């Protein structure tokens, strides 16, 4: 079983500087005295180039504060322009039992946003000539039924493979509640997935599949000769300079004051700490359960769109839409958006802008990363409640200037 490195020191030997040292809880950010500047970050945008509605005290900031006061938001919102935060604001508690507030460096369960890391990992192996998007999964993994083994890597990435359970299902692997190690999860899931029939013939339709992304993680491990976790740490987290991001185990979530506990909303309206429920697995997997902070997600997006994780051509392959989505597949955030799914990234397009990123949701978490690559804006919304963040995401998209 692989061992996670220290979450704050894992990248120290690389000499990677944070995007903005001395990041404040809110407001425009500059480097702390004596701090090393990030050579990949652009200069801080002047305040007069940023719409007032996106600055501290502006419309977005006030709206988030109103939702927090009403018990509808607990987490962090970050808005950045040209690689620098212009608004960072945290609300609520990371751990209610210990009275620990959410802060800038709080790491939140990303839920399905984890798929973005998996998409980059698969693309890195393709870029290195170690796998092909056109190849069937049976090229890399054995034991699957013949019709399942024909689904391609491309189809797994775009949720068009037909592999695995529907995204909303009560069907669970045998003994899942007793899995208490990485080995339990990986052995149990791999055995279970080999028993599942196709939901539809590969390539014939879209069907969001968490299980398909677990299969992709197993392919990453098989092709690289490393655990999925180690490959992602070395080829995604480290080169992006991430210091608050990892696949934290349940014991780590319980012990670390800088990792938010998720709170599950009950029908009565009461919120229950997810660490006391079966909803928090021992550790996350290729489709969910990585933890990260808002500044780290800015670093990740900056590195990805700056072609530091992949070459320029492969970055475009990953972040561009590969399959058109209908309203029944996923409702758009704003009216008039045309949506696509890429390789671990979604793409929303209008006549005036392109938005690339991913969302995530589940018991005790809701997340969203929006990158506007054509005019260099980014919005991160992370919460440890499951009340949803779509209203905040929608307002931010309205307020970010068009390309």
Rounded average pLDDT over 85-104: 98
Are 152 and 212 contained in the same domain? yes
pLDDT tens figures, 109-135: 999 999 999 999 999 999 999 999 999
Give CA–CA dist 259/120, Å, rounded: 24
Which of 188, 203, 228 is the last residue before a domain boundary? 228
- Comparing 18-32, 195-209, 346-360, which segment has the lowest mean pLDDT? 18-32
In a domain, 62, yes or no: yes
| Mean pLDDT confidence for 334-350 | 96
Q: Are 135 and 326 in contact (CB under 8 A)?
A: no
In a domain, residue 41? The reply is no
What average pLDDT is seen over the chain? Answer: 89
173 and 248 share one domain: no
Position 279 confidence tier, pLDDT thresholds 50, 70, 90? confident
CATH code of the domain in which 59 resides: 3.40.710.10
Decide which of 194, 228, 262 is a domain's last residue. 228
318 in the same domain as 254: yes
Whether 283 and 259 have beta carbons less than 8 Å apart is answered as: no
Distance CA 65, CA 322 (A): 37
pLDDT at 29 over 70: no
Least confident of 4-8, 60-64, 340-344, 353-357: 4-8
Distance, CA of 48 to CA of 292 (rounded, Å): 31
- Asked, for residue 194, whether it belongs to a domain, the answer is yes
Q: What is the pLDDT of residue 34?
A: 30
The answer to whether residue 145 scores a pLDDT higher than 80 is yes
Do 249 and 392 lie in one domain? The reply is: yes
Note the pLDDT of residue 327.
Answer: 87
Q: Are 219 and 137 in contact (CB under 8 A)?
A: yes
Do the domain assignments include residue 26? no
**Which of 185, 201, 228 marks a domain boundary?**
228
Query: Under a CB-based contact definition with an 8 Å cutoff, are residues 389 and 368 in contact?
Result: yes
If one compares 128 and 46, the residue with the highest pLDDT of the two is 128
At 164, list the tokens: 């695995």
Are 75 and 96 in a shared domain?
yes
Which residue shows structure tokens 């599942």? 196
In a domain, 40, yes or no: no
Segment 264-278 mean pLDDT: 92
Backbone angles phi, psi at 226, to 5 degrees: -120, 165
Query: Domain containing 185: what range?
Result: 119-228
Mean pLDDT to the nearest integer, 138-164: 98
191 with 261, same domain: the answer is no
Q: Is residue 235 part of a domain?
A: no
DSSP string spanning 192-220? HHTTPPPSS-TTSS----HHHHHHHHHHH
361 and 288 within one domain? yes
Bridge partners, residue 85, by sequence: 80
Q: What is the mean pLDDT of residues 373-381?
A: 97
Q: How confident is the model at residue 333 (pLDDT cuts 50, 70, 90)?
A: very high
Does residue 6 lie in a domain region? Answer: no
Instruction: Let me know whether 98 and 141 are in one domain.
Output: no
| Average pLDDT for 2-8 | 41
Q: Is residue 102 part of a domain?
A: yes
The encoded tokens of residue 335 equal 């009216």
291-311 per-position pLDDT tens digit: 999 999 999 999 999 999 999
Asked if 175 and 249 sit in the same domain, the reply is no
Q: What percent of the chain has pLDDT over 90?
A: 83
Within this chain, do residues 390 and 253 fall inside the same structural domain, yes or no? yes
Looking at the 3D structure of the chain, how many domains does it have?
2
Q: Which of 30-39, 351-360, 375-384 has the lowest mean pLDDT?
A: 30-39
Please check whether residues 103 and 252 belong to one and the same domain.
yes
Distance, CA of 69 to CA of 85 (rounded, Å): 24
What pLDDT does 49 receive?
A: 80
Examine the domain organization and report whether 394 and 248 are in the same domain. Answer: yes
Instruction: Report DSSP state, residue 374.
Output: T
pTM listed for this prediction: 0.89
Q: What CA–CA distance (Å, rounded) separates 346 from 339? A: 7
Mean pLDDT over residues 348-357, rounded? 95
């Amino acid at each position: 079983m692989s061992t996670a490195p220290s979450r704050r020191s894992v990248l120290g030997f690389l000499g990677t500087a944070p995007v903005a040292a001395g990041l404040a809880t809110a407001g425009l950010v500059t480097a702390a005295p004596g701090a090393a500047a990030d050579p990949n970050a652009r200069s801080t945008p002047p305040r007069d180039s940023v719409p007032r509605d996106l600055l501290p005290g502006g419309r977005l900031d006030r709206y988030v504060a109103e939702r927090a006061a009403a018990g509808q938001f607990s987490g962090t919102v970050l808005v950045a322009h040209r690689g620098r935060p212009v608004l960072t604001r945290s609300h609520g508690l990371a751990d209610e039992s210990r009275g620990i507030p959410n802060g800038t460096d709080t790491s939140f369960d990303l839920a399905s946003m984890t798929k973005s890391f998996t998409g980059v990992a698969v693309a890195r192996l393709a870029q290195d000539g170690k796998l092909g998007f056109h190849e069937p999964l049976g090229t890399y993994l054995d034991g699957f039924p013949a019709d399942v083994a024909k689904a391609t890597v491309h189809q797994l990435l775009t949720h068009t493979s037909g592999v695995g359970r529907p995204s909303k299902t009560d069907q669970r692997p045998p003994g899942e509640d007793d899995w208490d190690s990485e080995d339990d999860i990986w052995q149990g899931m791999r055995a279970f997935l080999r028993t599942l029939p196709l939901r539809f013939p590969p390539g014939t339709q879209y069907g969001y599949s968490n299980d398909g992304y677990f299969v992709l993680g197993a392919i990453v491990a098989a092709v690289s000769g490393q655990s999925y976790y180690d490959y992602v740490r070395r080829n995604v987290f480290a080169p992006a300079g991430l210091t608050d991001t990892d696949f934290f185990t349940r014991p780590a979530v319980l012990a670390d004051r800088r990792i938010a506990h998720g709170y599950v909303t009950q029908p009565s309206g009461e919120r229950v700490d997810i660490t006391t429920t079966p909803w928090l697995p021992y550790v996350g997997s290729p489709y969910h359960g990585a933890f990260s902070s808002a500044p780290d997600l800015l670093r990740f997006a900056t590195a990805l769109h700056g072609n530091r994780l992949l070459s320029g051509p492969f970055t475009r392959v990953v972040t561009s839409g590969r399959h058109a989505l209908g309203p029944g597949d996923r409702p758009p955030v704003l009216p008039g958006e045309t949506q696509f799914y890429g390789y671990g990234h979604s793409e929303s397009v209008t006549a005036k802008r392109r938005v690339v990123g991913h969302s995530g949701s589940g018991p005790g978490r809701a997340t969203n990363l929006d990158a506007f690559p054509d005019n260099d804006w980014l919005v991160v919304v992370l919460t440890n409640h499951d009340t949803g963040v779509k209203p905040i995401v929608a307002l931010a998209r309205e307020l970010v200037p068009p390309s």
